[in-house]
Structure 1
Amino acid sequence: MQWFLLSPILALLWVSVAQAEVLVQPDFDANKFSGLWYVVSMASDCKVFLGKKDHLRMSTRTITATAEGDLSVHMEFPGTEGCYQVDAEYLKVGSEGHFRVPTLGYLDVRVVETDYSSFAVVYIYKELEGALSTMVQLYSRTQDVSPQAVKAFKDFYPTVGLPNDMVVTLPKTDSCTRKGKEAP
């Protein structure tokens, strides 16, 4: 009986330790990170994601840094009836490049690696429909991703326990692009 009660506690401690090992981009600069990004590839163990990954298309994020170090993020997702839009505040947690997004259930968002001008690898630990999951997203400034970006993404997602069969490269779409527009 004691082992039955102890197992969930040990699992939570393991998750906390695993998250603590995910480092953020050194000297992260939110102002350089601001602007339009395309989500070109994703990896996740989320059951909802895995059930829909073959039907997903490239989405966008328009990011604006705030004076407090938070990020205002405008997301656009292509759907059958146009673009689904969501606005969220990524609230800074401790170090630069580390955020939480309570309105979306994101418990932990970290910009793991970026060169600011072409790509970013973003780690997300979230709760969806009562289940905890890990997601890694590859952002690109254009719909065509560089080999350097793909390498950074492929080098990172296995380190958080995501295998290749949980990865999708998202097809391009013109239905949710804000080309040339600045963040609101």
Structure 2
Amino acid sequence: MTPAVFLLLCGLLLSSPGNAQRRRKKPPAPKNPIDSIGIQGNFDPNRFAGKWFLVGVASRCSYLSQNHYRLEATNVMVTVADAETPEKPLLFSIFRPLDGHCWNIRQTYFPTERAGRFQVRGRGRKVDVVVAETDYNSYAIVYYQKAGKISAKLYGRSIKVGDAVTAKFEERMASIGLDLNQVFYFPVYGFCDSVDEYHVLDETKYTGIR
């Protein structure tokens, strides 16, 4: 085989569709951290609905670390919107004091293809949500991811949960690299149950569709 023929064959091999496809192959997408969080099996939105108290939060947020003493008693009413449809979005109606007033923040947790996993869309970036663990009657551990950063909240059906549940929450947080200095608990007094029309922040109008 002459050198010219050899070079021609090499050129044909290098330009073959298979090689071109290999060259164009994109690197794998980076893993989404919240994908590693397990989801409550057979999640039932109707059993999850009802009143919850925000017991604790875990986060790497430096602002929260420096201002955790400003946390206010917070309670949440969860309802299932359009319960007759298979999607079953959850409506979160959050009540909390701020600057001497009671505020109501309303959010829609849009369901995804996996039961127990949701997405909240608002003014800023979307938030991915996973209901990781709940017995529906006393506690729920819910993870939130925004801009690739994970935090978590501990909800209770009453203002306090048992020591075993608190220990479980702290253990779950340690497994994702959050230590006790990044776990904060809410006051058990000073709750709001109603607000006036001037202190409502309605995020439910945001669907994420532009």
Q: Same fold (TM over 0.5)?
A: yes
1:60 counterpart (69, 75, 87): 75
Q: Highest Rg: 1 or 2?
A: 2
CA distance in structure 1 between the partners assigned to 2:164 and 2:47 by the alignment: 19
* AA partner of residue 140 (structure 2): A
Q: CA deviation at 1:142?
A: 0.7
* AA partner of residue 110 (structure 1): V
Instruction: Name stretches of at least 5 consecutive residues in structure 1 with no aligned partner.
Output: 1-8, 179-184
Moved over 4 A (4+): none
When normalised by structure 2's length, the TM-score is 0.71
1:133 counterpart (149, 152, 168): 149
1:113 aligns with 2:113: no
1:82 aligns with 2:101: yes
The aligned counterpart of 2:159 is: 143
CA distance in structure 1 between the partners assigned to 2:151 and 2:126 by the alignment: 10
* AA partner of residue 135 (structure 2): D
Query: 1:5-54 CA distances to partner (integer Å, 9 max, x unpaired)?
Result: xxxx99x824x1x3211011001100000001000111101233223212
CA distance in structure 1 between the partners assigned to 2:104 and 2:66 by the alignment: 21
CA distance in structure 2 between the partners assigned to 1:94 and 1:72 by the alignment: 18
Moved more, 142-151 or 24-33: 142-151
The aligned counterpart of 1:123 is: 143
2:46 counterpart (25, 28, 31): 31
2:173 counterpart (124, 138, 157): 157
* AA partner of residue 65 (structure 1): V
When normalised by structure 1's length, the TM-score is 0.80
Note the aligned Cα RMSD (angstroms): 2.1
Conservation of the 8 A alpha-carbon contact between 1:60 and 1:75: yes
* AA partner of residue 141 (structure 2): V
Hey, which of these two has a bigger chunk of strand by percent? 1
| Matched length | 163
Q: CA deviation at 1:95?
A: 1.0
Query: 1:99-118 CA distances to partner (integer Å, 9 max, x unpaired)?
Result: 01011644211111000011
Query: 1:128-157 CA distances to partner (integer Å, 9 max, x unpaired)?
Result: xxxx53211100011121223212211211
1:92 aligns with 2:92: no
Q: CA deviation at 1:97?
A: 0.9
CA distance in structure 2 between the partners assigned to 1:134 and 1:47 by the alignment: 13
Instruction: Name stretches of at least 5 consecutive residues in structure 2 with no aligned partner.
Output: 1-26, 195-210
